[in-house]
Amino acid sequence: MSQEFQGKTVIVTGAGSGIGLATATRFVEEGAQVIAGDLDVSAVSGLSGPGSVTGVEVDLRGDGGERLAQAALDAYGKIDVLVCCAGVAPTRTGLSDTGDKDVMNTFDVNVLGVLRCARAAVPHMAKAGKGSVVAIASDFGRMPEPLFYDYCMSKAAVLSFMKSLSIEFGPQGVRANCVSPGATRTPIWEKPGGFIDLLAEMYGGMERDKVIDHFAKEHKKFALQRIGEPEEVAEVVLFLTSDRASFVTGSDYWVNGGSMPVY
Burial 97-131 (b: 16+ CB within 10 A, else e): ebeeeebeebbbbbbbbbbbbbebbbbbbbeeeeb
Within 16-137, where are the H helices? 18-29, 64-76, 100-110, 112-128
Cα atoms in the 13 Å half-sphere on the side-chain side of 161: 24
Does the annotation count 151 as an active-site position? yes
Residue 12 per-residue DSSP state: E
Whole-model pTM above 0.85?
Answer: yes
Q: Where are the domains of the chain?
A: 9-183+228-255, 185-227
Tens of pLDDT along the chain (263 residues) come to: 678 899 999 999 999 999 999 999 999 999 999 999 999 999 999 898 999 999 999 999 999 999 999 999 999 999 999 999 999 988 888 888 889 999 999 999 999 999 999 999 999 999 999 999 999 999 989 888 888 889 999 999 999 999 999 999 999 999 999 999 998 999 888 888 888 888 888 899 998 889 989 988 888 888 999 999 999 999 999 999 999 999 999 999 999 998 765 44
Catalytic site residue from 76, 151, 203, 253: 151
Q: Does domain 9-183+228-255 have CATH number 3.40.50.720?
A: yes
d(CA 135, CA 118): 10
